[in-house]
Structure 1
Amino acid sequence: MAVAPDEAQRDTFRYRAMRDGLQSLDDTVPGKFEITKEGIVHDMMAPVGPHELTAARVSRRLEKVMPDEILAHTGTPDVEDEPEGIMRHPDIMVIAEADMEVQGSFDPRTLVAAVEIVSRTSPDNDWVGKMRDYPLLGIPVYVIFDPRTGSGAVLSDIHRTPDGPRYATRKDFVYGEDVTIADWTISTDNLPRYA
Protein backbone atom coordinates (compact mmCIF):
# COMPACT_ATOMS: atom_id res chain seq x y z
CA MET A 1 0.00 0.00 0.00
CA ALA A 2 1.42 3.36 -1.02
CA VAL A 3 1.40 6.17 1.48
CA ALA A 4 0.69 9.65 0.17
CA PRO A 5 3.36 12.20 1.07
CA ASP A 6 2.34 14.73 3.67
CA GLU A 7 2.30 18.47 2.96
CA ALA A 8 5.81 19.05 4.39
CA GLN A 9 7.25 16.35 2.12
CA ARG A 10 5.48 17.84 -0.91
CA ASP A 11 6.88 21.28 -0.02
CA THR A 12 10.39 19.81 0.30
CA PHE A 13 10.09 18.02 -3.07
CA ARG A 14 8.76 21.22 -4.69
CA TYR A 15 11.59 23.30 -3.23
CA ARG A 16 14.28 20.81 -4.31
CA ALA A 17 12.83 20.69 -7.83
CA MET A 18 12.93 24.51 -8.06
CA ARG A 19 16.49 24.62 -6.69
CA ASP A 20 17.69 21.90 -9.08
CA GLY A 21 16.03 23.66 -12.00
CA LEU A 22 17.69 26.95 -11.12
CA GLN A 23 21.10 25.32 -10.79
CA SER A 24 20.76 23.98 -14.32
CA LEU A 25 19.96 27.52 -15.58
CA ASP A 26 22.74 29.32 -13.69
CA ASP A 27 25.23 29.58 -16.55
CA THR A 28 22.73 29.81 -19.40
CA VAL A 29 20.24 32.52 -18.37
CA PRO A 30 21.36 36.04 -17.42
CA GLY A 31 20.43 37.54 -14.09
CA LYS A 32 20.04 36.23 -10.56
CA PHE A 33 17.55 33.65 -9.30
CA GLU A 34 16.26 33.26 -5.75
CA ILE A 35 13.56 31.09 -4.18
CA THR A 36 11.06 32.78 -1.87
CA LYS A 37 7.96 31.68 0.00
CA GLU A 38 6.00 32.80 -3.09
CA GLY A 39 8.16 31.00 -5.66
CA ILE A 40 11.06 31.97 -7.91
CA VAL A 41 12.32 35.55 -8.23
CA HIS A 42 14.38 36.36 -11.33
CA ASP A 43 16.20 39.67 -11.52
CA MET A 44 17.01 39.72 -15.23
CA MET A 45 19.26 42.75 -15.12
CA ALA A 46 22.90 42.53 -14.17
CA PRO A 47 23.64 44.95 -11.32
CA VAL A 48 24.64 48.39 -12.58
CA GLY A 49 27.59 50.51 -11.47
CA PRO A 50 25.89 52.39 -8.58
CA HIS A 51 24.58 49.10 -7.16
CA GLU A 52 27.98 47.42 -7.25
CA LEU A 53 29.84 50.51 -6.04
CA THR A 54 27.45 50.83 -3.07
CA ALA A 55 28.03 47.18 -2.16
CA ALA A 56 31.81 47.61 -2.42
CA ARG A 57 31.90 50.81 -0.35
CA VAL A 58 29.59 49.48 2.38
CA SER A 59 31.55 46.20 2.55
CA ARG A 60 34.88 48.02 2.79
CA ARG A 61 33.59 50.44 5.45
CA LEU A 62 32.23 47.58 7.54
CA GLU A 63 35.44 45.57 7.33
CA LYS A 64 37.43 48.58 8.57
CA VAL A 65 35.47 48.66 11.86
CA MET A 66 34.72 44.95 12.43
CA PRO A 67 37.06 42.41 14.05
CA ASP A 68 39.29 40.51 11.61
CA GLU A 69 37.34 37.26 12.05
CA ILE A 70 34.12 38.86 10.74
CA LEU A 71 33.71 39.58 7.01
CA ALA A 72 31.34 41.71 4.96
CA HIS A 73 31.21 39.11 2.19
CA THR A 74 29.92 40.06 -1.27
CA GLY A 75 30.38 36.75 -3.08
CA THR A 76 28.72 33.38 -3.25
CA PRO A 77 27.19 31.04 -2.10
CA ASP A 78 23.56 31.67 -1.24
CA VAL A 79 21.92 31.36 2.16
CA GLU A 80 19.41 28.56 2.24
CA ASP A 81 16.83 27.06 4.59
CA GLU A 82 15.39 24.00 2.90
CA PRO A 83 12.64 23.38 5.49
CA GLU A 84 11.38 26.96 4.96
CA GLY A 85 11.78 26.57 1.19
CA ILE A 86 13.87 29.74 0.85
CA MET A 87 17.15 30.39 -0.96
CA ARG A 88 18.37 33.99 -1.04
CA HIS A 89 21.55 35.77 -2.06
CA PRO A 90 22.21 38.92 -0.02
CA ASP A 91 24.38 41.57 -1.67
CA ILE A 92 26.52 41.63 1.51
CA MET A 93 26.61 38.96 4.20
CA VAL A 94 28.14 39.92 7.55
CA ILE A 95 29.43 36.55 8.72
CA ALA A 96 32.24 35.01 10.74
CA GLU A 97 34.98 33.40 8.67
CA ALA A 98 34.52 30.17 10.64
CA ASP A 99 30.86 30.00 9.53
CA MET A 100 31.95 30.17 5.89
CA GLU A 101 33.92 26.92 6.15
CA VAL A 102 31.03 24.79 4.87
CA GLN A 103 30.14 22.93 1.71
CA GLY A 104 27.21 24.38 -0.20
CA SER A 105 25.03 27.24 0.96
CA PHE A 106 25.61 29.20 4.15
CA ASP A 107 23.28 28.63 7.09
CA PRO A 108 21.31 31.90 7.28
CA ARG A 109 21.23 31.66 11.09
CA THR A 110 25.01 32.19 11.14
CA LEU A 111 24.74 35.62 9.52
CA VAL A 112 25.22 38.62 11.77
CA ALA A 113 23.45 40.79 9.17
CA ALA A 114 22.26 40.80 5.57
CA VAL A 115 22.67 43.97 3.50
CA GLU A 116 20.81 44.64 0.26
CA ILE A 117 21.27 47.37 -2.30
CA VAL A 118 17.88 47.96 -3.91
CA SER A 119 17.73 47.01 -7.57
CA ARG A 120 16.38 49.61 -9.94
CA THR A 121 14.34 46.94 -11.74
CA SER A 122 12.84 45.02 -8.79
CA PRO A 123 12.69 47.16 -5.62
CA ASP A 124 9.86 45.09 -4.11
CA ASN A 125 12.20 42.10 -3.92
CA ASP A 126 14.24 44.00 -1.29
CA TRP A 127 11.53 46.13 0.37
CA VAL A 128 8.82 43.44 0.54
CA GLY A 129 10.03 39.92 -0.23
CA LYS A 130 13.31 39.97 1.69
CA MET A 131 11.75 41.95 4.53
CA ARG A 132 9.40 38.95 4.87
CA ASP A 133 11.93 36.16 4.21
CA TYR A 134 14.96 37.29 6.24
CA PRO A 135 13.24 37.09 9.65
CA LEU A 136 11.88 33.66 8.63
CA LEU A 137 15.50 32.66 8.00
CA GLY A 138 16.56 33.97 11.43
CA ILE A 139 18.83 36.75 10.08
CA PRO A 140 18.91 39.15 13.06
CA VAL A 141 19.68 42.39 11.19
CA TYR A 142 18.56 43.37 7.69
CA VAL A 143 19.84 46.61 6.13
CA ILE A 144 18.52 48.17 2.94
CA PHE A 145 20.37 50.83 0.93
CA ASP A 146 18.20 52.39 -1.79
CA PRO A 147 20.16 54.27 -4.51
CA ARG A 148 16.84 55.35 -6.07
CA THR A 149 16.03 57.60 -3.10
CA GLY A 150 19.34 58.02 -1.27
CA SER A 151 17.86 56.46 1.85
CA GLY A 152 17.53 53.14 3.61
CA ALA A 153 16.50 51.27 6.73
CA VAL A 154 17.95 48.99 9.39
CA LEU A 155 15.55 46.28 10.56
CA SER A 156 16.15 44.19 13.68
CA ASP A 157 14.56 42.53 16.73
CA ILE A 158 12.74 39.56 15.21
CA HIS A 159 9.45 38.84 16.95
CA ARG A 160 6.54 36.47 16.35
CA THR A 161 3.36 37.71 14.67
CA PRO A 162 0.24 35.88 13.45
CA ASP A 163 1.78 36.05 9.95
CA GLY A 164 5.13 34.62 11.10
CA PRO A 165 8.37 36.19 12.31
CA ARG A 166 8.86 39.87 11.49
CA TYR A 167 11.31 42.63 12.38
CA ALA A 168 9.99 44.75 15.27
CA THR A 169 12.42 47.66 14.98
CA ARG A 170 13.00 49.83 11.93
CA LYS A 171 15.45 52.75 11.84
CA ASP A 172 15.31 54.80 8.65
CA PHE A 173 18.31 56.79 7.43
CA VAL A 174 19.25 59.09 4.57
CA TYR A 175 22.55 59.04 2.75
CA GLY A 176 25.06 61.24 4.56
CA GLU A 177 24.06 59.99 8.02
CA ASP A 178 25.96 57.37 9.98
CA VAL A 179 24.23 53.99 10.14
CA THR A 180 24.67 51.25 12.73
CA ILE A 181 24.69 47.69 11.41
CA ALA A 182 24.66 45.18 14.29
CA ASP A 183 27.53 46.44 16.52
CA TRP A 184 29.31 48.66 13.96
CA THR A 185 28.66 52.18 12.76
CA ILE A 186 29.69 53.36 9.29
CA SER A 187 29.26 56.50 7.22
CA THR A 188 26.84 56.64 4.30
CA ASP A 189 28.65 59.64 2.77
CA ASN A 190 29.46 59.45 -0.95
CA LEU A 191 27.25 56.49 -1.79
CA PRO A 192 26.15 56.67 -5.43
CA ARG A 193 22.58 57.20 -6.59
CA TYR A 194 20.88 55.91 -9.72
CA ALA A 195 20.74 58.62 -12.40
Structure 2
Amino acid sequence: MTTVTVPNELLAIEDWDALEETDANRYWELVDGTIIMNSFPTAGHQFVAHRLVNLLDAQLPEGLVALQHLGLTIEARFPPTVRGPDVVVFSRAQVKLDVARIDPADVQLVVEVVSPGSRRTDRIAKVADYQYAGIPAYWIIDPAAAEGDAFVAYELAGGAYKEVARGSGVITLERPFPVTIDVGALLTLD
Protein backbone atom coordinates (compact mmCIF):
# COMPACT_ATOMS: atom_id res chain seq x y z
CA MET A 1 0.00 0.00 0.00
CA THR A 2 1.26 3.46 -0.90
CA THR A 3 1.18 6.13 1.78
CA VAL A 4 0.38 9.60 0.56
CA THR A 5 1.36 12.60 2.64
CA VAL A 6 -1.08 15.39 1.98
CA PRO A 7 0.28 18.89 2.59
CA ASN A 8 -1.48 20.80 5.35
CA GLU A 9 -1.26 24.10 3.48
CA LEU A 10 -2.51 25.33 0.12
CA LEU A 11 -0.19 24.51 -2.75
CA ALA A 12 1.24 26.93 -5.26
CA ILE A 13 1.43 25.80 -8.89
CA GLU A 14 5.17 25.09 -8.46
CA ASP A 15 4.39 22.80 -5.49
CA TRP A 16 1.83 20.95 -7.61
CA ASP A 17 4.35 20.49 -10.42
CA ALA A 18 6.91 19.13 -7.95
CA LEU A 19 4.61 16.38 -6.63
CA GLU A 20 5.18 12.90 -7.97
CA GLU A 21 2.32 10.60 -8.84
CA THR A 22 1.96 8.26 -5.90
CA ASP A 23 -1.05 6.05 -6.59
CA ALA A 24 -1.88 4.62 -10.02
CA ASN A 25 -5.44 3.81 -8.84
CA ARG A 26 -6.27 7.47 -8.17
CA TYR A 27 -6.27 10.54 -10.22
CA TRP A 28 -5.62 13.96 -8.78
CA GLU A 29 -6.77 17.51 -9.40
CA LEU A 30 -5.82 20.75 -7.68
CA VAL A 31 -8.72 23.01 -6.71
CA ASP A 32 -7.99 26.37 -5.10
CA GLY A 33 -4.62 25.05 -3.92
CA THR A 34 -6.12 21.89 -2.39
CA ILE A 35 -5.43 18.38 -3.68
CA ILE A 36 -8.57 16.53 -4.70
CA MET A 37 -8.31 12.76 -5.03
CA ASN A 38 -10.70 10.96 -7.37
CA SER A 39 -11.14 7.30 -8.21
CA PHE A 40 -9.54 6.35 -11.48
CA PRO A 41 -12.20 6.05 -14.22
CA THR A 42 -13.75 2.63 -14.79
CA ALA A 43 -13.24 0.65 -18.00
CA GLY A 44 -16.69 1.67 -19.29
CA HIS A 45 -15.97 5.34 -18.55
CA GLN A 46 -12.64 5.17 -20.35
CA PHE A 47 -14.18 3.27 -23.27
CA VAL A 48 -16.72 6.07 -23.82
CA ALA A 49 -13.99 8.74 -23.59
CA HIS A 50 -11.71 6.78 -25.95
CA ARG A 51 -14.53 6.26 -28.44
CA LEU A 52 -15.30 10.01 -28.29
CA VAL A 53 -11.65 10.89 -28.97
CA ASN A 54 -11.71 8.66 -32.07
CA LEU A 55 -14.99 10.17 -33.25
CA LEU A 56 -13.67 13.71 -32.74
CA ASP A 57 -10.35 12.98 -34.43
CA ALA A 58 -12.22 11.92 -37.56
CA GLN A 59 -14.06 15.27 -37.69
CA LEU A 60 -11.65 17.85 -36.25
CA PRO A 61 -10.35 20.63 -38.46
CA GLU A 62 -6.63 20.70 -39.19
CA GLY A 63 -4.61 22.09 -36.32
CA LEU A 64 -6.72 20.58 -33.52
CA VAL A 65 -6.28 17.34 -31.60
CA ALA A 66 -8.42 15.46 -29.05
CA LEU A 67 -6.71 13.67 -26.17
CA GLN A 68 -7.73 12.08 -22.88
CA HIS A 69 -6.66 12.97 -19.34
CA LEU A 70 -4.53 16.07 -19.70
CA GLY A 71 -4.03 18.68 -17.02
CA LEU A 72 -5.79 21.97 -17.75
CA THR A 73 -4.72 25.09 -15.89
CA ILE A 74 -7.84 26.93 -14.80
CA GLU A 75 -5.98 29.40 -12.56
CA ALA A 76 -2.18 29.53 -12.22
CA ARG A 77 -2.12 32.34 -9.65
CA PHE A 78 -2.29 31.40 -5.99
CA PRO A 79 -4.33 29.48 -5.02
CA PRO A 80 -4.18 27.57 -8.30
CA THR A 81 -6.69 25.22 -9.91
CA VAL A 82 -5.71 22.44 -12.32
CA ARG A 83 -8.48 20.20 -13.65
CA GLY A 84 -8.17 16.91 -15.53
CA PRO A 85 -11.00 16.71 -18.07
CA ASP A 86 -11.77 13.35 -19.64
CA VAL A 87 -11.29 14.76 -23.15
CA VAL A 88 -9.63 17.99 -24.27
CA VAL A 89 -9.64 19.41 -27.80
CA PHE A 90 -6.78 21.84 -28.24
CA SER A 91 -4.19 23.24 -30.61
CA ARG A 92 -1.98 20.53 -32.08
CA ALA A 93 0.99 22.93 -31.72
CA GLN A 94 0.89 22.31 -27.96
CA VAL A 95 1.65 18.61 -28.46
CA LYS A 96 5.01 19.54 -29.98
CA LEU A 97 5.83 21.67 -26.93
CA ASP A 98 5.26 18.64 -24.66
CA VAL A 99 3.80 20.85 -21.93
CA ALA A 100 2.79 19.52 -18.50
CA ARG A 101 -0.58 21.26 -18.68
CA ILE A 102 -2.68 22.84 -21.37
CA ASP A 103 -3.42 26.55 -21.18
CA PRO A 104 -7.12 27.44 -21.58
CA ALA A 105 -6.28 29.85 -24.41
CA ASP A 106 -5.31 26.83 -26.55
CA VAL A 107 -8.46 24.80 -25.75
CA GLN A 108 -11.60 24.67 -27.89
CA LEU A 109 -13.59 22.02 -26.01
CA VAL A 110 -13.51 20.04 -22.77
CA VAL A 111 -15.64 16.98 -22.12
CA GLU A 112 -16.48 15.22 -18.87
CA VAL A 113 -17.87 11.69 -18.85
CA VAL A 114 -19.88 11.51 -15.65
CA SER A 115 -19.16 8.83 -13.06
CA PRO A 116 -21.37 8.16 -10.03
CA GLY A 117 -18.92 10.08 -7.81
CA SER A 118 -18.47 13.02 -10.19
CA ARG A 119 -22.04 13.97 -11.12
CA ARG A 120 -22.25 17.09 -8.92
CA THR A 121 -18.69 18.19 -9.70
CA ASP A 122 -19.13 17.78 -13.47
CA ARG A 123 -22.52 19.53 -13.55
CA ILE A 124 -21.77 22.40 -11.16
CA ALA A 125 -18.14 23.01 -10.16
CA LYS A 126 -16.54 22.21 -13.49
CA VAL A 127 -19.13 24.23 -15.41
CA ALA A 128 -18.06 27.24 -13.33
CA ASP A 129 -14.33 26.48 -13.67
CA TYR A 130 -14.37 25.98 -17.44
CA GLN A 131 -16.56 29.03 -17.91
CA TYR A 132 -14.18 31.12 -15.74
CA ALA A 133 -11.22 29.88 -17.82
CA GLY A 134 -12.96 30.96 -21.04
CA ILE A 135 -13.19 27.51 -22.62
CA PRO A 136 -15.43 28.01 -25.71
CA ALA A 137 -17.36 24.74 -25.32
CA TYR A 138 -18.07 22.19 -22.58
CA TRP A 139 -19.86 18.86 -23.02
CA ILE A 140 -21.17 16.54 -20.35
CA ILE A 141 -21.76 12.90 -21.28
CA ASP A 142 -23.65 10.93 -18.65
CA PRO A 143 -24.08 7.23 -19.45
CA ALA A 144 -26.41 6.71 -16.45
CA ALA A 145 -28.64 9.75 -17.05
CA ALA A 146 -32.20 9.65 -18.31
CA GLU A 147 -32.25 9.32 -22.10
CA GLY A 148 -32.77 13.03 -22.77
CA ASP A 149 -29.91 14.04 -20.47
CA ALA A 150 -27.17 11.69 -21.69
CA PHE A 151 -25.47 14.52 -23.61
CA VAL A 152 -25.45 18.22 -22.78
CA ALA A 153 -23.44 20.81 -24.73
CA TYR A 154 -22.64 24.31 -23.53
CA GLU A 155 -21.21 27.18 -25.53
CA LEU A 156 -19.57 30.28 -24.07
CA ALA A 157 -21.53 33.42 -24.96
CA GLY A 158 -20.87 36.77 -23.31
CA GLY A 159 -18.66 35.15 -20.65
CA ALA A 160 -21.29 32.60 -19.55
CA TYR A 161 -22.21 29.13 -20.73
CA LYS A 162 -25.53 28.64 -22.44
CA GLU A 163 -26.94 25.23 -23.23
CA VAL A 164 -26.97 24.62 -26.99
CA ALA A 165 -27.84 20.92 -27.22
CA ARG A 166 -29.24 18.12 -25.07
CA GLY A 167 -30.35 14.60 -25.87
CA SER A 168 -29.46 11.02 -26.65
CA GLY A 169 -29.81 10.75 -30.44
CA VAL A 170 -27.74 12.21 -33.24
CA ILE A 171 -26.59 15.73 -32.35
CA THR A 172 -24.95 18.13 -34.80
CA LEU A 173 -23.10 21.21 -33.59
CA GLU A 174 -21.42 23.98 -35.58
CA ARG A 175 -19.27 25.40 -32.76
CA PRO A 176 -16.54 25.35 -31.70
CA PHE A 177 -16.13 23.29 -34.92
CA PRO A 178 -18.63 21.33 -37.03
CA VAL A 179 -19.23 17.90 -35.50
CA THR A 180 -21.92 15.22 -35.40
CA ILE A 181 -22.24 12.89 -32.41
CA ASP A 182 -24.43 9.79 -32.29
CA VAL A 183 -24.88 9.73 -28.52
CA GLY A 184 -26.60 6.33 -28.46
CA ALA A 185 -23.77 4.70 -30.44
CA LEU A 186 -21.17 6.47 -28.30
CA LEU A 187 -22.68 5.03 -25.12
CA THR A 188 -23.18 1.48 -26.43
CA LEU A 189 -20.55 -0.65 -24.75
CA ASP A 190 -20.77 -3.71 -27.05
Q: TM-score, normalised by structure 1?
A: 0.76
- Which amino acid is the alignment partner of residue 154 of structure 1? A
Deviation, structure 1 residue 172: 3.9
Query: Structure 1's 39 and 27: CA in aligned 2 closer, same or farther, altered over 3 A?
Result: closer
Matching of residues 109-124 of structure 1 within 5 Å: 109-124=105-120
Counterparts of 1:193 and 1:113, CA distance in 2: 23
Q: How many residues align?
A: 173
CA distance in 2, matches of 1:104, 1:38: 17
The alignment status of 1:79 with 2:75, answered yes or no, reads: no
Q: Distance in 1 between matches of 2:30 and 2:51?
A: 27
In the alignment, structure 1 residue 20 sits paired with structure 2 residue 54: no
Percent sequence identity over aligned pairs: 20
Identify if the C-alpha distance between structure 1 residues 15 and 155 changes in structure 2 by more than 3 Å, giving closer, same or farther: farther
Pair 1:33 & 2:28 matched: yes
Distance 1:36 1:158 in 2: 25
Q: Which runs of 5+ in 1 are unaligned?
A: 1-12, 161-165
| TM alignment of 1:45-194, pairs within 5 A | 45-76=39-70, 78-80=71-73, 81-83=75-77, 85-102=80-97, 103-149=99-145, 150=147, 151-160=150-159, 166-167=160-161, 169-180=162-173, 182-186=176-180, 187-192=182-187
Shift of 1:64: 0.8
Deviation digits for residues 74-107 of structure 1, max 9, x if unmatched?
Answer: 143x111312721011111111210333332111
Q: Tell me, yes or no, if the aligned pair for 2:33 and 2:80 is still in contact at 8 Å.
A: no
Equivalent in the alignment of 2:5: none
Deviation at 1:109, TM superposition (A): 1.7
Check 1:154–1:37 CA distance in 2 against 1; reply closer, same or farther (3 A cut). Answer: farther
Aligned partners of 1:173 and 1:179 also within 8 Å: no
Question: Within 2, Cα distance between the matches of 1:104 and 1:176?
Answer: 36
RMSD, aligned α-carbons: 2.7
**8 Å Cα contact 1:116-1:126 kept in structure 2:** yes
Structure number with larger C-alpha Rg: 1
SS in 2 for 1:190: helix
3-state secondary structure, aligned to 1:119: coil
The Cα shift of 1:193 comes to 6.7
Which is worse superposed, 173-182 or 88-97? 173-182
Alignment-mate amino acid for residue 121 of structure 2: N
Aligned mates of 1:67, 1:193 — CA distance in 2: 26
State TM-score, norm by structure 2.
0.78
